[in-house]
Structure 1
Amino acid sequence: MKISVDQYSEEELQEEGVFEWPVWEHEEAKFDWYYDQTELCYITEGEATITTEFEAITIRAGYFVTFPKGLECVWDIHDAIKKHYSFE
């Protein structure tokens, strides 16, 4: 179960309606998280490292991230994060 990170153009994001998705924000913190649905999100501010049993990736503004359903991870937010998100 891998986290996928992509980068899309502003035009592609607009076409997908990403900026109409709800917004989630969180200050610097470290916490466990479980995804009971696949989440698509676009990071607009901040930086965090997401650690799973298989990998540790750092996400930051400009990244489009897909968290698969069933993923268990630890979020370590280094710089207050803000993202648009949607569930599949």
Structure 2
Amino acid sequence: MDKIKTRKLSLEEAKKLGIDSWDTWECEPDTFDWEYAEQETAYVFEGDVIVKTGEQTVHITGGMLVSFPKGLKCTWEVREKIRKVYTFNFDIDNI
């Protein structure tokens, strides 16, 4: 199984990737299980989240570009409200 990938990016760098056209998602503090039907890439504007898989624990905060592989099963622990934009099938390895 592929792993979650993260990269720190400034807002200016993220805008060059076209994030203004990506969908928006917000979540107040909560804990829930999730499975990714498609590969998803997100840019996080704000928040504090721990995402746990069987192999990884990833701490996600504002200013991060995050890629979740297709088929990933994980648990989200939203510690502080998260606000992000996301798109599908965008490869962060090419930036």
Range into which the TM-score falls when normalised by the shorter chain = over 0.9
Q: TM-score, normalised by structure 1?
A: 0.94
Shift of 1:31: 0.3
- Normalising to structure 2: TM-score of the pair? 0.87
User: Matches of 1:13 and 1:59 in 2, distance apart?
Assistant: 16
Pairing 1:1-88 to 2, within 5 Å after superposition: 1-88=2-89
Count of aligned pairs between the two proteins = 88
**Where in structure 1 are there 5+ consecutive unaligned residues?**
none
Q: What is the RMSD computed on CA atoms of the aligned residues?
A: 1.0
3-state DSSP of counterpart to 1:45: strand
Secondary structure of the residue aligned to 1:37 is coil
Distance in 2 (CA, whole Å) between partners of 1:16 and 1:25 is 20
Measured after TM superposition, the shift of residue 8 of structure 1 is 2.3
Structure 1 range deviating more: 34-43 or 3-12: 3-12
